[in-house]
Structure 1
Amino acid sequence: MSLFNIFNVSGSGMAAQSVRLNTTASNIANADSVSSSIDETYRARHPIFEAEMAKASHQQQSSQSVAVKGIVESDAPLQKQFSPNHPMADNDGFIYKPNVNVMEEMADMISASRSYQMNVQVSEAAKSMLQQTLRIGK
Structure 2
Amino acid sequence: MAIFDTFGISGSGLMVHRKWLDAVSDNISNINTVTRTNENAFQERFIVAQSVDYGSGNGGVRVARAEFGDAEGRMVYQPDHPLADADGYVKYPDIDLSDQMTQLMMAQRGYQANLAVVERATSAYQAALQLGKG
User: TM-score scaled by structure 1?
Assistant: 0.86
Secondary structure, aligned partner of 2:18: helix
Question: Is the 8 Å Cα contact of residues 3 and 126 (structure 1) preserved in structure 2?
Answer: no
Deviations 1:64-92 (A, max 9, x none): 21111111112486211122222111233
Amino acid at match of 2:48: I
Aligned match of 2:58 in 39, 55, 63? 63
In 2, Cα distance between the equivalents of 1:135 and 1:10?
Answer: 24
Amino acid at match of 1:131: Q
Deviations 1:29-73 (A, max 9, x none): 0001111135331011111110112xx68xxx3222111111111
Matched, 1:132 2:127: yes
Matched, 1:41 2:36: no
In 1, Cα distance between the equivalents of 2:70 and 2:84?
Answer: 23
After TM superposition, the runs of 4+ consecutive aligned structure 1 residues lying more than 4 A away are none
Amino acid at match of 1:43: Q
Deviation at 1:9, TM superposition (A): 0.5
Change (3 A) 1:125 1:3: farther
In 2, Cα distance between the equivalents of 1:67 and 1:39?
Answer: 33
Q: Which runs of 5+ in 2 are unaligned?
A: none
Amino acid at match of 1:80: M
In 2, Cα distance between the equivalents of 1:25 and 1:38?
Answer: 26
Change (3 A) 1:38 1:110: farther
Question: Is the 8 Å Cα contact of residues 49 and 61 (structure 2) preserved in structure 1?
Answer: yes
Deviation at 1:94, TM superposition (A): 1.3
User: TM-score scaled by structure 2?
Assistant: 0.89
Change (3 A) 1:72 1:100: same
- Structure 2 match to 1:12: 12
Deviations 1:73-124 (A, max 9, x none): 1248621112222211123321111011111111111111111111111011
Q: Which runs of 5+ in 1 are unaligned?
A: none
In 1, Cα distance between the equivalents of 2:71 and 2:42?
Answer: 12
Aligned match of 1:83 in 55, 78, 86? 78
Deviation at 1:136, TM superposition (A): 2.4
Deviation at 1:22, TM superposition (A): 0.6
Matched, 1:123 2:125: no
